[in-house]
Structure 1
Amino acid sequence: MHQQRTRVIDKNKGHTVVKCIENRRYVQVWIHQVLYHRGLYPKDVFELRKQYNVPVHMSIHPEVCQYIKHFVDTLQPVLEKNQCQLVSLVILSNTTQQPLERYVLAFDHQQQQQQQQQQQEEGDLYHDFRACLLKLNALPCFLSPPVLDCTFTLGVELNDSDDLPFLHNTEQVWIPGNVDQTTNATTWTQFVPIKTMHISPFKINMYVMEAKGKGKQIERH
């Protein structure tokens, strides 16, 4: 007589994983949108598409797409274990490597226990991301003009933990970030809130920070 094994499925865990995957997808679109609106690459290397029923501009440059995809893929285990404090895109001067603008998605885990008990519908998630993309399309209204001849870097700030999955993963190489590009740097003067989303198990705050020396960089160009 064969013993039948029953597999127990943790619905809450599955629900969280699905949302982490969706968060990862949104982060990818978010990066492309910032690169387009701040003029990091010529307009003709972007293709107009629709995400969350919003027109978005996605880069079609193979190396740029691969870099962004690789970065976003590495976020998956970090998001699943609630170890991601924030994701940032920092725009730097190509000449001086001085940080000029910092775009942030900050994940607030303090309300995690309360929000895990609230099942958010997929439709709500869709509309939250849609509203954020519409805000991103209005970026030029919130910020001073972008500086020419710039580059960018992507980064992650982590919660303190002894169980970081990528530390033992030789396929993923993580490099310590520049202190001048982090939250604690003193180079940031202007804080521009964009949107707050409540997506269990996170509250996600999207905002932009502008650096002290950005005005001087604009004058030089």
Structure 2
Amino acid sequence: MADAPLTYNQAVKGITEFIEVAIHTILYVRQVYPADLFIRRKKYNTPVFQSRHPALNEYISGAVKAVGEEMVLGHVDKVVVVIKDKEEVALERFIFSIQSMINVEGYNKETSVQDAMSPTALGMYFRSFLVKLSIMESQLSPLSYGGEDVSFAILLELQDEQVPSATEGKDPPPWIPALSQHTTAGVSDEAEIHLVRAVDTGIFNLSLAIQESAEKLQRDGVLVSNDKGKGKES
């Protein structure tokens, strides 16, 4: 039934599908690639933009699939889309925080979870995430510095003492160690944080925040001296 509460597996699939759509949206609105590389689509009853480049799409979908495999195991803490300059300096981090609220045995992961939201309601929340993300984009300073190219990477941050386990034995492995400065642990106290949206699905808590790095703010000449952000410099 369409309005039945989410199952654990439906929640995993719904969140990873949303993250994939959001990554394409981030790349479009932050102009990491030219606008003509994207095509207009509709998802969650709202316009979205999707890359038309096969290799880029394969990278994004492969990373998101691997995220889903770790989510099923309850290991994921954050998924980070880091936008960086040609010197690998992080300029912006789009942080999807995923907090598992319940423990579900494997044989029950296709059973509706009492008090969880419905798939229809979850889709409405995802729509509001994307609308707010587009609005938040106008509050961020441009990423271009005299025509300098930027690139991006998808990072997976696991819960303490966890390592990627669902993908062991795969060649090549879907995950490689990230530069510390790209991770949330490498965030300066002077970084600016913008909360986009949060939702409690009844199975996972999902939130999206944007961090503008201290390095980016210094280049823009807008860095203020009072403490902002969280974490420590690597």
TM-score when scaled to structure 1? 0.84
Asked if structure 2 preserves the Cα contact closer than 8 Å seen for 1:142 and 1:192, the reply is no
Q: Does 1:98 align with 2:50?
A: no
Write the distance in 1 (CA, Å) between the matches of 2:219 and 2:27.
18
- Give the drift of 1:142: 2.4
- Give the drift of 1:161: 5.1
Pair 1:43–1:161, CA change in 2 (3 A): same
Q: Which runs of 5+ in 1 are unaligned?
A: 1-10
- Give the drift of 1:119: 2.7
Write the distance in 2 (CA, Å) between the matches of 1:160 and 1:44.
41
- State which of 30, 33, 51 in structure 1 corresponds to 2:25: 33
Asked if structure 2 preserves the Cα contact closer than 8 Å seen for 1:83 and 1:161, the reply is no
Between the aligned residues of both structures, percent identity stands at: 25
- Give the drift of 1:117: 4.1
Q: What is residue 154 of structure 1 aligned with on the other side?
A: 154
Q: What is residue 88 of structure 1 aligned with on the other side?
A: 80
- State which of 19, 27, 30 in structure 1 corresponds to 2:11: 19
Write the distance in 2 (CA, Å) between the matches of 1:129 and 1:117.
21
Pair 1:149–1:164, CA change in 2 (3 A): closer
Q: Does 1:185 align with 2:186?
A: yes
The residue identity in structure 1 corresponding to 2:102 is Q
- Give the drift of 1:81: 1.5
The structure with the larger Rg is 1
Write the distance in 2 (CA, Å) between the matches of 1:170 and 1:181.
24
Asked if structure 1 preserves the Cα contact closer than 8 Å seen for 2:116 and 2:203, the reply is no
TM-score when scaled to structure 2? 0.80
Q: Once superposed, what is the RMSD of the aligned Cα atoms?
A: 2.3
Q: Does 1:107 align with 2:107?
A: no
Pair 1:21–1:192, CA change in 2 (3 A): same
Write the distance in 1 (CA, Å) between the matches of 2:141 and 2:23.
19
Task: Count matched residues.
Answer: 204
- State which of 195, 201, 204 in structure 1 corresponds to 2:206: 204
Alignment of 1:46-65 (within 5 A): 46-65=38-57
Q: What is residue 142 of structure 1 aligned with on the other side?
A: 139
The residue identity in structure 2 corresponding to 1:50 is K
